[in-house]
Chain A
Amino acid sequence: MRYRAYTTAFRVEARQQTRYRGAAMGGIVTQVFFGLILVALYDTLSGGTDEGFRRTATYVWLQQIFFRAYFNLDSELNDQVMTGNVAYSMLRPVDLHSWWFWRAMAQKIITIAMRILPMLLLQLLLPERWRLLPPADIPAFVQFAFSLLIGFMIICQINLICSAISMRTLDNKGITAMINLLMMILAGNIIPLTLVPDRLQTLIRLQPFAQLLDAPIRMYQGMASPGEWLAAAALQLGWLVLLWGLCRWMWSRNLLRIEVQGG
């Protein structure tokens, strides 16, 4: 089968990730803590018992549950990029962009899968007002699940674009710090995009970072109409195709000109 190498890469990496249970526990505690602070803060700011606050709290919790997915988790790729050893992966008869992409997907999916249940249980310990609301309805949940998967794929492309840039600079600190900062702000992790003033919100929703988790979360909370859902889904897919193409192009270009260090 043509794609066997990539499904295997996914499987092996997925199994690998299940070993990092300690890291998962640490992450859960941190994310619950941040979720708690943000929810308490928005509760104080909202000042009442309105529906709006419950939606914000739900938004915050979903952002915290999926927080780890934002980051490039592939330390092997990072090492290889920094040392220039990534060239050695050209010795394998595989498409390298696809190879690293499916690894990244496995890392994100498993990392998140290990965090979902404990975090859902932990937030149940909170006062009801601060808890996560269930999805609007079953179709909303299905839309959310699909959209989340697309969102992960887009994040992987963004991570791999950073790696492609790092191949040229041989250092990933600068670009990673910049992208992470942009992502935290523009993807709705620190300030839910639902709280951004209306005019700005329309604009901010168009940019790629809003496709990562903001779009899935809005679907979770229920779209106003099928048309609105269609527009959001199309936008998300459009960005995926665009970034996928850009990322592939950057990778193939960089691998052609990469020079292995040392003689």
Chain B
Amino acid sequence: MSEPLIRAEGLTKRYRRSTGGKGLTGFFGRSTETVDGLVDATFRVEPGEIVGLLGPNGAGKSTTVKLLTGILRPDGGSCSVGGLVPWRDRRTYTAGIGTVFGQRMQLWWDVPILDSFRLLRDIYRVEETAWKNRLDELAEALALGDLLNVPLRQLSLGQRMRAELCGSLLHSPKLLFLDEPTIGLDAVSKLNLREFLLLERERHGTTILLTTHDMADMQALCRRVLVLGHGRLLYDGSLHDILQRYDTRHEVRCRFAGEPVWQDIPSSVALRRDEGEWELSFAPHAIPADEVLRLILAAGRIEELTLKEAPVDEMVAEMYNALHLS
């Protein structure tokens, strides 16, 4: 196994939050409370991996990204990325990473994006020909060719996001952080973005850390996820496994020729009548699907039967529920 790129040990960050105080007391003194941003997180990321950070709002995803990018210093634990400590070696470290925040543009608002890219060339001290080649490559992959002379503020959200991605990759970073990169994008833009990221990783072996609320993003990009909740790292492993484990919303709809006679329905199966149809929902880890089918077959003669797959977002909600996150 190769040397991990990111090595975080017991990483902890707590925020102090003012709780105000009512009326005049608030004027004279404010009390504060401590909020867990991230508590005792230990994980590793290998070079070339795409790792997803998953969790509800306020779970600690952005805190993790901010700690790993060096914007925040932790209150405890340690972290090294490629042998550097992000917050201590800020200038050396940031020269080798790329960052994109879906909620916050980093390119300059009023100037043509090509000017922003030139500025980035100088900030990251990219050599002229290397910069030019990289820009050509990225502009083509991200379809930015015609937009280079347009100021950022005149671009659509999808175009802006592409420009941001281009800007974040011009200095060919080995590690890319994406914080909700697809937020607000339409379906086509999302699809293009995912394709681009996979291509970028294939061509350059870029390691990508991604936070998103969009499960389709996760499924398209990540094999491995870190699930966070209330500042704690709750799960670190394959996305497939965790979806299976919390895939609790299998539904079967069926119509019978006559009135069915239900026998011995276990509590793990919810039975509901919907007009002429019956709906059974069950958790596959509590009762196997073929067991449910047997129950249905025993109830009467079937005219029609459909299996409804659970939407991924519901699975995630279920997972958060089970992990006491909601």
Listed in ascending order, the chain A residues whose CB lies under 8 Å from chain B are 4-5, 7-9, 12, 15-16, 19, 76, 85, 87-88, 90-95, 256, 259-260, 262-263
Contacts of B35 on A, CB cut-off 8 Å? 263
B70 interface residue (CB < 8 Å to A): yes
By the criterion CB–CB under 8 Å, are A256 and B104 in contact? no
Which residue in chain B gives the minimum CB-CB distance to A4? B122
Which residue in chain B gives the minimum CB-CB distance to A256? B73
By the criterion CB–CB under 8 Å, are A92 and B123 in contact? yes
Which residues of B in the span 251-269 have a Cβ within 8 Å of any Cβ on A? none
Cβ-neighbour of A12 out of B59, B95, B108 (below 8 A): B108
By the criterion CB–CB under 8 Å, are A87 and B71 in contact? yes
Cβ-neighbour of B91 out of A8, A88, A93, A263 (below 8 A): A93
By the criterion CB–CB under 8 Å, are B58 and A263 in contact? yes
Which residue in chain B gives the minimum CB-CB distance to A87? B71
Which residues of B in the span 164-194 have a Cβ within 8 Å of any Cβ on A? none
Contacts of B123 on A, CB cut-off 8 Å? 5, 8, 92-94
Q: In whole angstroms, what is the CA distance A95 to B93 when docked? A: 13
B78 interface residue (CB < 8 Å to A): no
Contacts of B104 on A, CB cut-off 8 Å? 85, 88
Q: How far is the CB of A17 from chain B (nearest CB, A)?
A: 11
Mask for B108-121, Cβ within 8 A of A = 1, else 0? 11110001001100
Known A12-B108, A88-B71, A91-B69; judge A263-B115 contact (CB<8 A): no
Which residue in chain B gives the minimum CB-CB distance to A261? B15
Q: How far is the CB of A91 from chain B (nearest CB, A)?
A: 5
Starting from the known contacts A8-B119, A8-B122, 19 additional A-B residue pairs (CB-CB under 8 Å) come to A5-B123, A8-B123, A9-B119, A12-B111, A19-B110, A85-B104, A88-B71, A90-B70, A90-B71, A90-B90, A91-B69, A93-B91, A93-B93, A93-B95, A93-B124, A256-B73, A259-B16, A262-B62, A263-B62
By the criterion CB–CB under 8 Å, are A92 and B94 in contact? yes
B281 interface residue (CB < 8 Å to A): no
Q: In whole angstroms, what is the CA distance A8 to B118 when docked? A: 9
Q: In whole angstroms, what is the CA distance A203 to B321 when docked? A: 70
Q: How far is the CB of B175 from chain A (nearest CB, A)?
A: 12
Say whether chain B's binding surface is mostly helix, strand, loop, or mixed: mixed
Known A5-B123, A12-B115; judge A91-B70 contact (CB<8 A): yes
Contacts of B125 on A, CB cut-off 8 Å? 4-5
Q: In whole angstroms, what is the CA distance A76 to B105 when docked? A: 12
By the criterion CB–CB under 8 Å, are A91 and B71 in contact? yes
Q: In whole angstroms, what is the CA distance A262 to B63 when docked? A: 9
Contacts of B133 on A, CB cut-off 8 Å? none
Contacts of B115 on A, CB cut-off 8 Å? 12
- Interface size counted on chain B using CB atoms at 8 A: 39
Q: How far is the CB of A92 from chain B (nearest CB, A)?
A: 6
Contacts of A263 on B, CB cut-off 8 Å? 15, 35, 37, 57-63
Q: How far is the CB of A196 from chain B (nearest CB, A)?
A: 39
Q: In whole angstroms, what is the CA distance A4 to B127 when docked? A: 12
By the criterion CB–CB under 8 Å, are A260 and B94 in contact? no
Q: Which 7 A-B residue pairings sit nearest by Cβ, starting from the closest?
A: A93-B95, A8-B122, A93-B94, A5-B123, A4-B122, A93-B91, A87-B71
Q: How far is the CB of A252 from chain B (nearest CB, A)?
A: 11
Contacts of A91 on B, CB cut-off 8 Å? 69-71, 94, 97, 99, 106
Contacts of B62 on A, CB cut-off 8 Å? 262-263
By the criterion CB–CB under 8 Å, are B66 and A260 in contact? yes
Contacts of B122 on A, CB cut-off 8 Å? 4-5, 7-8
B101 interface residue (CB < 8 Å to A): yes
B31 interface residue (CB < 8 Å to A): no
B72 interface residue (CB < 8 Å to A): yes
Q: How far is the CB of A34 from chain B (nearest CB, A)?
A: 29
B244 interface residue (CB < 8 Å to A): no
Q: How far is the CB of B124 from chain A (nearest CB, A)?
A: 7
Contacts of A90 on B, CB cut-off 8 Å? 70-71, 90, 94
B92 interface residue (CB < 8 Å to A): yes
Q: How far is the CB of A1 from chain B (nearest CB, A)?
A: 8
Contacts of B111 on A, CB cut-off 8 Å? 12, 15-16
Contacts of B71 on A, CB cut-off 8 Å? 87-88, 90-91, 260
Contacts of B16 on A, CB cut-off 8 Å? 259
Q: In whole angstroms, what is the CA distance A1 to B254 when docked? A: 73
Known A87-B71, A88-B71; judge A95-B119 contact (CB<8 A): no
Q: In whole angstroms, what is the CA distance A92 to B173 when docked? A: 13
12 contacts between A and B (CB under 8 A): A7-B122, A8-B122, A16-B111, A91-B99, A92-B94, A93-B92, A93-B94, A94-B91, A94-B123, A95-B91, A260-B66, A263-B60
Mask for B2-37, Cβ within 8 A of A = 1, else 0? 000000000000011000000000000000000101
Q: In whole angstroms, what is the CA distance A8 to B124 when docked? A: 12
Q: How far is the CB of A174 from chain B (nearest CB, A)?
A: 15
Which residue in chain B gives the minimum CB-CB distance to A85? B104
Q: In whole angstroms, what is the CA distance A263 to B63 when docked? A: 5
Contacts of A76 on B, CB cut-off 8 Å? 109
